[in-house]
Amino acid sequence: MAKFSKIQTLNAIKNTRIVPVFYNSDAEISCQVMASCYKGGIRAFEFTNRGEFAHEVFAVLVKYGSVNCPEMIIGAGSIVDAPTAALYIQLGANFIVGPSFNPDIAKVCNRRLIPYSPGCGTVTEIGIAQEAGCDLCKVFPANTVGGPAFVKALLAPMPWSMIMVTGGVEPTESNLTSWFKAGVTCVGMGSNLFPDEVIKARDWDKITDNCSFCLNTLP
């Protein structure tokens, strides 16, 4: 079950503004990556459902986090159906993220007061997701649906919207500044925060440095 309330989760995501997006089949590596992000100042972490037995790794991650990263809010990503969402919520997911919008997932998350951030590519999709109770909508893939200009244009008629962007986010001052000046609530960032060579070398300090740099670069 979720450790944090819906309001706590949304506030943490809004305040931290960067949500690392990660998957690895090795539970030890996953725990070390999350701990490195935590050390770098991150307080919301998305583990994606992208491999066999990913939920088992997630269960280990949640247990590890409760002891070693007590303020880290852990969510599950790449969720496309309600049964999978329910599984991860039962394992301790504090938020659910998907590449697309599924109203059945919204029902499950609303019933348990868990934030659901569905992937949307149009203003209409975002509006429909908001009607279903999705406070924070994910624009995905953000770099191909219009980039920062799309977010800015969306917020003009819908200024109440909370937007997460994933896809095309880079750990550079110019890129991060462009997204936040456009009005995003937060960004999701994957391999750019933890390149393959860094994971292979188990250079956890590099991941901490990357997170710290990004947080200190935000406008």
pLDDT (tens digit per residue) in 27-84: 999 999 999 999 999 999 999 999 999 999 999 999 999 999 999 999 999 999 999 9
Q: Where exactly are the structural domains of the chain?
A: 6-212
The Cα-based distances of 22 to 32, 61, 103, 199 in angstroms read 12, 12, 25, 11
d(CA 37, CA 193): 9
d(CA 118, CA 104): 11
Mean per-residue pLDDT over the chain, rounded: 96
For the whole prediction, is pTM greater than 0.95? yes
The sheet carrying 18-22 orders its strands as 116-117, 96-97, 73-77, 44-48, 18-22, 186-189, 162-166, 136-139, 119-120
Residue type, 192: N
CATH superfamily for 6-212 is Aldolase class I (3.20.20.70)
Q: Are 44 and 72 in contact (CB under 8 A)?
A: yes
d(CA 53, CA 128): 32
pLDDT (tens digit per residue) in 175-203: 999 999 999 999 999 988 999 999 999 99
d(CA 163, CA 120): 10
Residue-level pLDDT at 168? 86
- Strand ranges inside the chain, DSSP E: 18-22, 44-48, 73-77, 96-97, 116-117, 119-120, 136-139, 162-166, 186-189
